[in-house]
Structure 1
Amino acid sequence: MKKLLYILLMLLSINTLTAQKTETVYDEKLAKELGGNDNGMKTYIFCILKTGSNTTATKEEKAKYFEGHMANINRLADEGKLVVAGPFMKNDRNYRGVFIFNVTTVEEAQALVETDPAVKAKIFEVELTPWFCSAALMAVPETHKKITKPKS
Structure 2
Amino acid sequence: MTSFDEYLHTVLTEGGGEAQRDGSATIEAQHLLLAIAAQVGTEPQRMLASVGLDHQALRDALHREFEHSLGAAGVSLAELNVPRAQGYRRGNPNVGASTKLALERGFHSVARKRDLQPAHLLLGILRAEVGTVPRTLVLAGVDRAELQATVERALAAA
**Pairwise same-fold verdict (TM > 0.5):** no
Under a length normalisation based on structure 1, what TM-score does the superposition of the two structures give?
A: 0.27
Larger Rg: 1
* Greater strand content: 1
Under a length normalisation based on structure 2, what TM-score does the superposition of the two structures give?
A: 0.26
Larger relative CO (CA 8 A, sep 6+): 1 or 2?
1
